[in-house]
Amino acid sequence: MTAIDAASLTALLDGRYAGVREDVRTSLIERADFLDEVEELPRPEYRERVREMLLDVSATGLTGLGFPKEYGGGGDVGASIAAFEEMAGGDLSLLVKSGVQFGLFGGAILQLGTARHHDAYLEDVVAGRLLGCFAMTEHGHGSNVAAVATVATYDPATQEFVIETTREDAYKDYIGNAACHGELAVVFAQLVVGGEERGVHAFVVPIRVDGAPAPGVRIADDGPKMGLNGVDNGRLWFSGVRVPRTSLLNRFADVTEAGEYVSEIESAGRRFFTMLGTLVQGRVSVGGAAIRASEVALTIAVRYALRRRQFEASADAEESLLLDYGQHQRRLMPLVARTYALRFAQEVVRDDLHDVFSGVTTSEHARRELESRAAGTKALATWHATRTIQECREACGGAGYLAANRFGALKADTDVFTTFEGDNTVLLQLVAKGLLTGYSSEFEEMDQLDLVRFVAGLAVETVLERTAVHKLLERVRDVVPIAGEREPDILDADYHLAMLRFREEHMLAGVARRLQSGMKAGGEPGAVFSTVQDHVIGVARAHVERLIHEAFREKVRGLPSGPVREVLDVLCDLSALSVIEADRAWFMEHGRLSSERSKAITAEVNRLCRDLRPHARLLVDGFGVPEELLRAEDLIG
């Protein structure tokens, strides 16, 4: 394999937003001392320093790239995601506070509000002069947003909404910027107009006036957390809080001065999911940040493994480098390959998001597919980060446990990524719903019970025909023969993709059959769904695994011949075979992998790791993590 150039890999990974990413890296390098400074700060001081740093970074314009230019932004949604991803190379409390301020709070005003809200708030939000919160999650209804118990009742006599926390467990919880710094909150509440419930809507509500809680607002601090202690998460209660009628973010629904509820979207369910769909940017951002954190961890661990010697390979030799050991290669190289795969999958999601939110793509089907793909990629990327950071810490031994070597902060600060912006298991159920319904017009209306009834009323073939994977069924069957018959080349790219497609389609058909049989047997929809829930999550995961691999393979196929393509071809093979190997029990159970073939795949994964060993440093250097942000001098020199 020809030697490769790390700068070429960085340019490929940075893609169309290379300039933005370089600007963020420069900004982080200029503020690299912040990583050392906050290491031992008490929590109150840490929060204040993060606030100060947020204002400092916002002055560069890098945090406002996704907002319209007329409000001081950059007018480029894709660029804003790329900038956020790159910021994850620095302090993650700063990253998350930035995400709360500009992605969630500012993003909600931008996406759910209209000109009256944009003109009133956005310029100050983008400049960091107005800090705010995104108050959706409630203590009693974390993931079930449709059931939040905060209520906003319209009072026609005063043309105001009255915001009320209606029960003990209905307080807003885990709200970033709430404990110390937020002045306004976008509050999600059940709207009641003329005694009629209209579902969840969003309102701009003052929570502080001159630094003190606003009248009727009670604020509490969530206290110390596992990580991200530079973010002031808090709790909010509302008691008779009155806000003007114009405080309703009214892009999708409004209340007139006369007290009439109006909306162009007749269905309450569709209106709710349309509203939530505009907030998908948060999931895309978190997935990208998790991938960047994985790159930081892998850069440290691989460089340490190329420097640290331990035990002699023979009596007359010096101790061997850690990465010369087969098991150490096994620990790290598949994770490097998977991280590259996720970077290219994230690129697809980011570009789709840009096209949908910029109006390049206007179809409802494309928007639903974006929501599903964003949910699935976020889930697998954040789980990958949790696994990768832990493996990298262990691969650096006791030295990796020192705070100066970054793993402590990376572990603690990214752990919550698996459950915020959507719990990963719940997100995979959203992915499965899209597969089972084919993102049909009924998609947004369905809860779990409706989904069971819907699928039970279809033929299995109908469910399959709704998926893109089904169109390639016959080719899949040709390339993936019965185990022990005609065995394709282990490194055949069509074989890798066909195996992943076969698994996805087989699992999807199995879920549909189990849902149908459960209903035919007289089961209640809720009980039937619960029985097959593990299968539902399995098919969603299989689907996203296939999308990730396709993104990697398509990126490689689009490259010109040369050393970069050569090494990425090997990485892509390693990524695909690692996925198949990890689920070989399933493939063997379903007659698509013989025991001999399974052993051969394991041997091939080992060989690919050895082949990539000479390129390990260049592969992690390709991630482009600035030296100043790695910190781990004792580990990497």
Helices 326-357, 77-87: crossing angle, 10 deg rounding: 150
Contact 470, 507 (CB under 8 A): no
- Return d(Cα 95, Cα 54) in angstroms, integer: 9
Contact 431, 543 (CB under 8 A): yes
Question: 608-612 contacts: CB < 8 A, separation 24 or more?
Answer: 608/333, 608/570, 608/573, 608/574, 608/577, 609/326, 609/329, 609/330, 609/333, 609/334, 609/574, 610/326, 610/329, 611/1, 611/570, 612/329, 612/333, 612/336, 612/337, 612/567, 612/570, 612/571, 612/574
C-alpha distances (whole Å) from 55 to each of 67, 221, 529 are: 17, 22, 47
Q: Which residues pair with 206 in a beta bridge?
A: 184
C-alpha distances (whole Å) from 118 to each of 123, 126, 188, 330 are: 8, 11, 18, 52
CB contact set of 459 (below 8 Å; sequence gap of 6+): none
Contact 302, 334 (CB under 8 A): no
Q: Is the dihedral of CA 576, 421, 276, 127 positive or negative?
A: negative
**Residue 379: alpha-carbon gap to chain centroid:** 6
Helix (H) or strand (E) holding 204: strand 196-206
Tokens of residue 391, six digits: 């493996």
CB contact set of 293 (below 8 Å; sequence gap of 6+): 88, 92, 385, 389, 410, 413, 414
Tokens of residue 363, six digits: 């179809």
Return the beta strands (E) in 17-149 as ranges: 132-135
Contact 543, 376 (CB under 8 A): yes
**Residue 83: alpha-carbon gap to chain centroid:** 15
- Return d(Cα 508, Cα 526) in angstroms, integer: 19
User: Comparing C-alpha atoms, which of 231, 212, 267 is closest to residue 95?
Assistant: 231
Q: Is the dihedral of CA 454, 456, 461, 463 positive or negative?
A: positive
How many CB atoms neighbour CB 136 within 10 A?
Answer: 24
CB contact set of 267 (below 8 Å; sequence gap of 6+): 444, 445
- Return d(Cα 119, Cα 221) in angstroms, integer: 31
Q: Which residues belong to the active site?
A: 421
Tokens of residue 85, six digits: 């991803």
Task: Tell me the longest C-alpha to C-alpha distance in the chain.
Answer: 92
Contact 202, 223 (CB under 8 A): no
Q: Which residue has the tokens 């996720």?
A: 342
